[in-house]
């Protein structure tokens, strides 16, 4: 820089309105109407620096700049305008750019300090990616973990802050590590602290960009190029127009890139949605196929069961008659559940009219069975039955009526029977009543009957006195009673034709 420019530098700094005259040396000073009044240039000469506070929003604990988070889009637009007006002129030289991250005071000091440092570095990464800042200018970062100085300034200027004077007194007279924040939180139940938390603390969370200019180079360049005010204004206007156009071009490129990313994301989401729909349809189709298979299997099983039952019914004998024997009587048991002696018996049952049958049975015994006891009995029974289940196979339940007659010869040495007068007696009897029971198939033709008979029995009894080896007639009497008269546990074989036709 020339000696004249150096001598006039203090005057230029003191009276920036005469900058045009200085830059036009040697020569006469222009009149007041030709003075250059560009605000950016005058600010540079007056202040030597310019700064901007960006109040960016971050996710809790976050430090990367996200343009779509919170109100960041408007703040970043303001930052772009600041960069354009502060750094785009070729006649303005930047000495250094400082990026400073700030945090509010809540939380631990170490955490806030670490977060402020990360946010300053994240801000620089954003400026480099968008504006290439550190490739063009010297850039340094700094951080302030807890910005008490600005908090005091905000508190001092906030007339609505409760207990403002007491708040300022605590900030001024209590050290950061001596419980300053704790005292603020305890002041008047935390009312002033909660007010600052919602109204003032958000203004502390910011990143600051400070641009410091090289005044000597700026003045020297203007003097070297001997630019008049109008020439300087024209150059600056042109450069700003070029810078604005470049910014618009870059903004358009970013917009197109964002749109491309958005379209790609929409395409990805559409493909993902289509894939989800395809998978859902596939799962639904598989579920429907599985349901159909299960339904087909169920129907097949039902059909197989129907066929099995139909085959079973076809294989069943449609009986004409059956031959059977009562195992209960055969074992020597009586209807009164006492045991006598083996009693052979045989029954024939004739089936007709789909639900009707008739049983004819005979029993006969004539045995000695130890200790001088003798058991002789004959029984002849006729029993029509009605079967409750239709189908002609005479299965399960029946009801009937019966009539029976016979004679008996009972000799016993049992004290209980002798005392009852029935230990040694002969006679005849008649009985009639009702019957009920059921038939269960053991195979196609074999089956078992379980039944009971009950009704009225009338017996003509002759009793004898015993003087072994002789029995002497004692008396004759008639004995009548109602009760259980028969137990039927019979096994039998049915003769007839099968449901498929044929016979046996």
Burial class (CB in 10 A: 0-12, 13-18, 19+), 365: buried
CB 425 within 8 A of CB 464: yes
List, for residues 293-348, the tens digit of each pLDDT value: 999 999 999 999 888 877 666 656 678 899 999 999 988 888 777 777 788 999 99
Question: Which residues have C-beta within 8 Å of that of residue 354, sequence separation ≥ 6?
Answer: 390, 392
List, for residues 220-276, the tens digit of each pLDDT value: 565 566 666 576 666 666 666 666 676 677 777 777 888 888 888 888 889 888 999
**What average pLDDT is seen over the chain?**
79
Give residue 48's pLDDT band: very low, low, confident or very high (50, 70, 90).
Answer: low
How confident is the model over 339-362, as a mean pLDDT? 90
Question: Which residues have C-beta within 8 Å of that of residue 376, sequence separation ≥ 6?
Answer: 365, 366, 367, 408, 409, 410
Q: Model pTM?
A: 0.40
Residue 71 is classified by DSSP as: T
- Token reading at 230: 């109008």
**35-49, 75-89, 354-368: the lowest-pLDDT one:** 35-49
How confident is the model over 419-425, as a mean pLDDT? 66
**Spatial separation of the C-alpha atoms in residues 216 and 235, rounded to whole Å:** 19
**216-220, 282-286, 374-378: the lowest-pLDDT one:** 216-220
CB 487 within 8 A of CB 333: yes
Question: Which residues have C-beta within 8 Å of that of residue 237, sequence separation ≥ 6?
Answer: none
Give residue 10's pLDDT band: very low, low, confident or very high (50, 70, 90).
Answer: very low
Nearest to 196 by CA among 119, 108, 105: 105
Residue that the structure tokens 């024997």 belong to:
325
CB 216 within 8 A of CB 1: yes
Residue 110 CB neighbour total at 10 angstroms: 9
- Token reading at 350: 């004739």
Give residue 389's pLDDT band: very low, low, confident or very high (50, 70, 90).
Answer: confident
How confident is the model over 441-454, as a mean pLDDT? 90
**Spatial separation of the C-alpha atoms in residues 226 and 389, rounded to whole Å:** 129
Give residue 103's pLDDT band: very low, low, confident or very high (50, 70, 90).
Answer: confident
**Measuring CA to CA, how many Å separate 109 from each of 144, 147, 148, 168?**
10, 11, 12, 20
| Interstrand relation of 470-498 and 317-326 (parallel, antiparallel or unpaired) | antiparallel
Q: Cα 16–17–20 angle (5° rounding)?
A: 95
CB 383 within 8 A of CB 401: yes
Give residue 414's pLDDT band: very low, low, confident or very high (50, 70, 90).
Answer: low
Residue that the structure tokens 């269960």 belong to:
440
Angle subtended by helix axes 229-315 and 72-87, to nearest 10: 150
Residue 8 Cα to chain centre, angstroms: 81
- Taking the alpha carbons of 61, 66, 72, 78 in that order, is the dihedral positive or negative? positive
**Spatial separation of the C-alpha atoms in residues 164 and 181, rounded to whole Å:** 15
Instruction: Tell me what pLDDT residue 46 has.
Output: 52
CB 170 within 8 A of CB 151: no
CB 434 within 8 A of CB 399: yes
**Spatial separation of the C-alpha atoms in residues 156 and 34, rounded to whole Å:** 44
- Token reading at 33: 């109407």
Residue that the structure tokens 């590590």 belong to:
177
**pLDDT at residue 161 greater than cutoff 70:** yes
**Spatial separation of the C-alpha atoms in residues 443 and 316, rounded to whole Å:** 8
CB 77 within 8 A of CB 98: no
Question: Which residues have C-beta within 8 Å of that of residue 438, sequence separation ≥ 6?
Answer: 396, 397, 398, 449, 450, 451
Angle subtended by helix axes 229-315 and 39-47, to nearest 10: 100
Burial class (CB in 10 A: 0-12, 13-18, 19+), 351: buried
**Spatial separation of the C-alpha atoms in residues 444 and 341, rounded to whole Å:** 33
Instruction: Tell me what pLDDT residue 370 has.
Output: 62
């Amino acid at each position: 820089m020339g000696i004249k420019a150096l001598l006039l530098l203090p005057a230029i700094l003191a009276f920036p309105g005469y900058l045009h005259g200085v830059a036009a040396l040697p020569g006469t000073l222009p009149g007041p109407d030709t003075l250059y009044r560009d605000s950016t240039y005058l600010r540079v000469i007056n202040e030597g620096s310019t700064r901007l506070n960006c109040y960016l929003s971050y996710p809790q604990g976050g430090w990367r700049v996200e343009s779509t988070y919170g109100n960041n889009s408007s703040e970043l637009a303001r930052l772009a305008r600041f960069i354009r007006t502060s750094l785009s002129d070729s006649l303005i030289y930047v000495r250094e750019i400082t990026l400073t991250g700030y945090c509010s005071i809540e939380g631990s000091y170490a955490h806030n300090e670490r977060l402020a440092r990360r946010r300053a570095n994240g801000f620089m990464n954003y400026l480099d990616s968008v504006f290439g800042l550190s490739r063009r200018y010297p850039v340094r970062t700094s951080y302030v973990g807890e910005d008490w100085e600005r908090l005091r300034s905000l508190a001092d200027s906030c007339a609505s802050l409760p207990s403002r004077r007491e708040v300022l007194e605590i900030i001024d007279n209590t050290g950061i590590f001596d419980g300053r924040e704790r005292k603020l939180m305890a002041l008047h139940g935390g009312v002033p602290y909660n007010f600052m938390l919602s109204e003032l603390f958000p203004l502390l969370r910011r990143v600051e960009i400070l641009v410091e200019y090289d005044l000597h180079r700026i003045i020297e360049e203007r003097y070297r190029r001997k630019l008049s005010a109008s020439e300087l204004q024209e150059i600056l206007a042109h450069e700003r127009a070029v810078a604005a156009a470049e910014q618009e071009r870059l903004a358009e490129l970013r917009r197109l890139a964002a749109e491309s990313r958005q379209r790609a994301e929409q395409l990805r989401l559409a493909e993902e949605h289509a894939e989800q729909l395809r998978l859902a349809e596939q799962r639904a189709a598989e579920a429907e196929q599985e349901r159909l298979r299960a339904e087909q299997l169920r129907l097949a099983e039902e059909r197989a069961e129907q066929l099995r039952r139909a085959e079973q019914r076809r294989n069943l004998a449609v009986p004409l008659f059956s031959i059977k024997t009562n195992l209960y009587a055969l074992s020597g048991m009586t209807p009164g559940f006492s045991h006598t002696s083996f009693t052979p018996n045989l029954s024939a049952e004739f089936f007709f009219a789909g639900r009707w049958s008739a049983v004819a049975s005979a029993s006969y015994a004539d045995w000695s069975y130890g200790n001088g006891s003798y058991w002789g009995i004959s029984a002849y029974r006729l029993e029509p039955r009605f079967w409750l289940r239709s189908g002609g196979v005479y299965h399960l339940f029946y009801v009937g009526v019966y009539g029976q007659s016979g004679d008996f010869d009972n000799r016993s040495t049992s004290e209980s029977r002798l005392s009852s007068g029935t230990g040694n007696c002969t006679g005849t009897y008649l009985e009639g009543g009702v019957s009920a029971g059921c038939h269960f198939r053991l195979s196609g033709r074999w089956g078992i009957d379980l039944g009971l008979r009950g009704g009225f029995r009338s017996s003509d009894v002759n009793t004898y006195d015993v003087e072994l080896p002789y029995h002497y007639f004692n008396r004759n009497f008639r004995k009548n009673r109602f009760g259980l008269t028969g137990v039927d546990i019979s096994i039998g074989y049915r003769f007839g034709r099968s449901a498929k036709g044929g016979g046996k």
